[in-house]
Structure 1
Amino acid sequence: MGPTGRPITNFPEPPPLDGHGPARIISLCNQKGGVGKTTTTINLGASFAEYGRRVLAIDFDPQGALSAGLGVPTHDVPTIYDLLLGTIKNPAEAIVHTNVPGLDVIPANIDLSAAEVHLVNEVARETILARVLRKVSDDYDVILIDCQPSLGLLTVNALTAAHGVLIPLECEFFALRGVALLVETIEKVQDRLNPAIKLDGILATMFDARTLHSREVLERVVENFGDDVLETVIGRTVKFPDASVAGSPITTFAPDHSAAHSYRQVARELIARGAVA
């Protein structure tokens, strides 16, 4: 049995694709900070790329942690903020190739924190990101949006643009409390702005099998959300911050580490579930 109390499935290595695009867009959301959203976006993106998928990661957090974690410059370069405001029309101008073949990124920096103020009076302000991504969707198989820890206008834009939502959830009691509110927000977006959006899964992160607390929280998550909880669980390890400092995904920084294997398994599980081609 795996940590989620279910039999461990050996998800097969996905076959290569015949062609690329249009992308399935997945928002990684949780209004609580420090739950592993950026780490998951980086390493899941790198894992999909290893399996031959073309991946675009969108840094949608003014802290720019995704860009930094992939070793991408964030200052004096075109960013997602420029695309939202329309100062740059073509997303290709902001796309940066990372050191991981097949993984590209649109960076962000602190300027993005002003976006909500600027967009609040725009017509159809919730759909601005969707209109930006439509221009590059055919070039990729999956677009991952790393959301900031809030349920404000930027996150609503990410949910409106997305086909699916992946919720990274830290195995810690307080992390549980906000999930109901997040699910409610997803349902509102589904009802009013994006009927096609669905929950692709809840990914348990920072799991420490040695502590009763971690095991109890995971048990409670599975109790409440059942099959929406991915079978793969991401353990707690110091290798993640080490990889971030190196500006590299853990899959290339420490390819044989158990955490790298876990993220490859998450990628295979999402492909097996049909969340990604």
Structure 2
Amino acid sequence: MAGSPQREPAVEESEPVRSDANVAGPMTEPVPGPRSEPADVSRETPPPMDATPVIEGPGDGSAPVGRAAQQAVEAMNRSGERLPRPERTRVMIVANQKGGVGKTTTTVNLAASLALHGARVLVVDLDPQGNASTALGIDHHSEVPSIYDVLVDSRPLADVVQPVPDVEGLFCAPATIDLAGAEIELVSLVARESRLQRAITGYEQPLDYVLIDCPPSLGLLTVNAMVAGNEVVIPIQCEYYALEGLGQLLRNVDLVKGHLNPQLHLSTIILTMYDGRTRLASQVAEEVRGHFHSEVLRTNIPRSVRISEAPSYGQTVLTYDPGSSGALSYLEAAREIALRDPAASGDGRHNSGMAEGTQ
């Protein structure tokens, strides 16, 4: 048109679309009051860092991390402090037979957080679905040497371990679909409950942590994990029926402790998918802390779109969006775990009472 052009849209587009309210630490509570966003945005706590669109996808330098990424780096290295490395390898079993509680997500993101703090960490994927392997960007098709070969064919663990791209010091023993038949095949093998323990003991490379991602069941694979490690880590979702079935898991821990591994104990409870704006999440957190006192981490893992998106790119949330609330929460949770005495909660005094009250 020959008339004077209208410039108002350009001025509107130049306005900033992100506020400092989107940069939140692990324990930051959301700002109270009414919200104008669509209903589906409420699944993120604190609000998602999605204001700036990402065209090419994460990992190519276009991810909108900005100052939040710098805050993540500062969170990892507070005042130049380095987290202590354990005197001996801590083998931690991440287990919960209730599905959808964030078990695999917790395994891979805690492992990545510990590695970013300077530790050498191995993730053992014992779930036939191989979700931990996928989230870490590890190839795990049927021809790849995997943890199945270690358990069933007594292959050395070093033959199947792969380094994780993008995270120095992090390694993974992947799972393939072959692992689905391992429960049956292990039944007839000698020392069927301790095959993973012997494999980890025979692994010659130095490790600070081994995190074992268990399947959502209490079969021989989970028993192998409990015999191999000393610490049980249980993610609990802050939703209705969060404690359902937990009693059976604790009874199994007691059985393995009594007959196969006297050092086994529940060391850590981590609350996942926490939405501080809901009364239900607060009630679940209060109930869990009433049953498990010092075992419960102070840091809650928020319900986060970024945490959910990261595995589809073969990444942890630490590399997908290091400045997000989910990444900062897992960094803080890993810090708590690293500073804990691994044997501090090994008496199991609460287990029997919890087992009786939870079906």
TM-based fold match above 0.5: yes
Q: Which residue of 2 aligns with 1:266?
A: 333
The one-letter amino acid of 1:31's match is Q
- Is 2:138 the counterpart of 1:72? yes
Indicate the residue corresponding to 1:228 in structure 2: 295
Q: Distance in 1 between matches of 2:76 and 2:232?
A: 21
1:89 to partner: Cα distance: 2.3
1:22–1:138 CA contact under 8 A, matched in 2 = no
Instruction: Report if aligned partners of 1:23, 1:138 keep a CA contact under 8 Å in 2.
Output: no
CA distance in 1, matches of 2:172, 2:205: 15
Paired position in structure 2 for 1:91: 157
TM-score, length of structure 1 as denominator length: 0.91
Asked if 2 retains the 8 angstrom alpha-carbon contact of 1:22 and 1:139, the reply is: no
1:50-199 superposed matches below 5 A: 50-75=116-141, 76-86=143-153, 89-99=155-165, 100-136=167-203, 139-199=206-266
What is aligned with 2:313? 246
Distance 2:83 2:317 in 1: 23
TM-score with structure 2 length normalisation? Answer: 0.71
1:46 aligned to 2:117?
no
Question: Are the counterparts in 2 of residues 22 and 137 from structure 1 also a CA contact under 8 Å?
Answer: no
Is 1:34 aligned to 2:100, yes or no? Answer: yes
Cα separation, partners in 2 of 1:246 and 1:124, compared to 1, 3 Å: same
User: Per-residue deviation at 1:16?
Assistant: 5.7
1:215 matched to which residue of 2?
Answer: 282
Is residue 21–residue 140 contact of structure 1 (8 Å, CA) maintained in 2?
no
Question: CA 1:117 to 1:66, structure 2 compared with 1: closer, same or farther past 3 Å?
Answer: same
Unpaired runs of at least 5, structure 1: 4-9
Question: SS of the counterpart of 1:145?
Answer: strand
Q: Does 1:257 align with 2:324?
A: yes
Percent of matched pairs sharing the same residue: 43
Query: Offset at 1:180?
Result: 1.7
Q: Answer yes or no: is the 8 Å Cα contact 1:58–1:146 preserved in 2.
A: yes
Give the secondary structure class of the aligned counterpart of 2:179.
helix
Does the 8 A contact of 1:21 with 1:137 survive in 2?
Answer: no
How far apart, in 2, do the equivalents of 1:272 and 1:138 lie? 23
- Matching residue's letter, 1:228: E
Counterpart-to-counterpart distance in 2, 1:12 and 1:108? 33
Instruction: Summarize deviations over 1:119-146 as a string: whole Å, max 9, x none.
Output: 1012221111101111126521100000
Larger Rg: 2
Distance in 2 (CA, whole Å) between partners of 1:57 and 1:137 is: 16
Q: 5+ unaligned residues in a row in structure 2: which ranges?
A: 1-26, 29-74, 344-359
What code does the residue aligned with 1:144 have?
L
2:89 to 17, 23, 27: 23
Cα separation, partners in 2 of 1:132 and 1:172, compared to 1, 3 Å:
same
Please tell me the root mean square deviation across aligned C-alpha atoms, in Å: 2.1
Runs of 4+ in 1 over 6 A off after TM superposition: none
- Is this contact kept in 2: 1:97–1:104, CA < 8 A? yes
